[in-house]
Chain A
């Protein structure tokens, strides 16, 4: 009995994505990714409030936990215990269904996001297409939310929001195509796990893992390929993805100082938190497309340089640069722990602050402990790819916050004009030129 159970757990575990042979492991992977995304959203909430505040010469949350670290939890609890209000005359089923649809589409896109060559839930051979398609489904959820609210302002806001999102998806798609074109320029045409591709050199791939491997094999991130056209495609995608996720400077449908307050006006409490969750997850999803397609996914910078070979007994055998980069996750965590301890030292020495000091010191200790764990060889080798991918995602999240702090917002007609009259022709032009340059090479 026990034997067969252990066999069930063991046998079908492989390290190849999409080959989690039994339902248990597939569920585990899915749950791990969803929990990871939720944790990322929670920390994004804190980082956004603190970073935005610091850019605005103020402090942000400071009270709810040392330096406001428990603020996201306080917000989550508050939203959970709020009264659930449904507007009179709202379509009950659609009203309930809209946030569910949006969250499900936002999370489903993470099925194919590769955190490493073997660290994805699955690896579809149409990965990018799947991500773009499923994220387009969220527009349906937005229209449902606006419609079900039975009020003209959410309806107008949801229609504007959906118009904005589908307009910028066109430019996004064209930019994505020009990146996909570059995957087919590989000399060897051999991909891990894609035996078919090896038989046809010069064939590109839509698989997310395949795209990063193409960048690895071509030895360059696609943002630097065919300079400046790779960069232009990346910039177009970076602008379009900000508009896609309804963030500043394209956040007119959500802005409070405009007349229409947006599609989620009538939602409060937990339902609204689902919208917020979906918005941040959407930001993470499109950022992961950008990171995978142009910024080399899980590859570290200068992945082809290994440095002189060094040997540390029982610990490392390989290139020096690889060694330095393998220590980087632990170093980052140690630095964060150091920042926590500096914060502890600088806290006011008043008895009431003692618990905050203890909390912050404990948090710093936890970060340091995780850093130590990351130094152990088995963990260290596996964590490399995940670390670089997450780091690049974090850079994009910071850019989102930076844009929100700096730029005024576009009026709706100007927003649509930028999407259709500026981004679309430029994306089309870049695509054509990339194709020509690719053929000529």
Chain B
């Protein structure tokens, strides 16, 4: 039998190698903890968070054309769009738009289906509430979330 494995066994070389790895990681630069809520994560642009209805930034009018494609695309049938035909412009206008986020799986199929840029899954991930109002109306969706900023 060759000498090297015996020596490695006697001198605990394998155990010392493991010990050196854990020792090196004590360097404070290696700490990977993000101290939420002081340090918030950087969310990607494509993140699929809470839905949001966008409005035209100049006219503050909704971009929704009441085509109902988002409601048809949702796998769980969570979106309800109520529209009315405007006699003057001969176009459909959206009256009410609601989504049930308690069942939403944030798959993004509604976002893919929307032909305008109206429906978008925003970067909002902090929408836990104390009440059970999961059906978000159009006003809420256009306003977006205002999460409580915790300073601790």
Contact = CB atoms under 8 A, between A and B. Distances in A.
A–B interface present (Cβ within 8 A): yes
Interface of A: 51, 54-59, 62, 348, 350-353, 402-403, 405-407
A407 B33 contact: no
Interface of B: 15, 18-19, 21-23, 25-26, 28, 30-33, 35, 38, 151-152
B31 A54 contact: yes
A352 B15 CA distance: 44
Nearest to A401: B22
Contacts of B22: 55, 402, 405-406
Contacts of A350: 38, 151-152
Contact of B31 (A59, A351, A405): A59
B151 A58 contact: no
Q: Kindly list the 7 A-B residue pairs having the minimum CB-CB distance in the complex, ordered from nearest.
A: A59-B33, A55-B22, A54-B26, A352-B152, A57-B32, A406-B22, A406-B18
A405 B23 CA distance: 10
Contacts of A56: 25
A405 B26 CA distance: 11
A348 B18 CA distance: 35
A251 to B, nearest CB: 16
A149 B25 CA distance: 41
A405 B25 CA distance: 11
B31 to A, nearest CB: 6
Given A348-B38, A351-B151, A407 B25 contact: no
Contacts of A51: 26
A406 B21 contact: yes
Contacts of B15: 406-407
B28 to A, nearest CB: 8
A400 to B, nearest CB: 12
16 contacts: A54-B28, A55-B23, A55-B26, A57-B32, A57-B33, A59-B31, A59-B35, A62-B35, A350-B38, A351-B151, A352-B152, A402-B19, A402-B22, A403-B19, A406-B18, A406-B19
A350 B32 CA distance: 22
Most buried by A among B22, B25, B31: B22
A55 B152 contact: no
A402 B25 CA distance: 12
Most buried by A among B21, B31, B32, B35: B31
Nearest to A249: B15
Nearest to A356: B152
Contact of B18 (A54, A58, A407): A407
Contacts of B30: 57
Contacts of B21: 406
Contacts of A351: 151
Nearest to B15: A407
Contact of B32 (A58, A402, A403): A58
Contacts of A55: 22-23, 25-26
Nearest to A399: B19
Contacts of B38: 348, 350
A48 to B, nearest CB: 14
Nearest to A408: B18
Given A350-B151, A351-B151, A352-B151, A57 B25 contact: yes
B35 A58 contact: no
Nearest to A58: B33
A147 B89 CA distance: 86
Contacts of B35: 59, 62
A164 B26 CA distance: 32
A348 B23 CA distance: 27
Nearest to A56: B25
Given A406-B21, A407-B15, A407-B18, A58 B31 contact: yes
Most buried by B among A351, A352, A353, A405: A405
Nearest to A405: B22
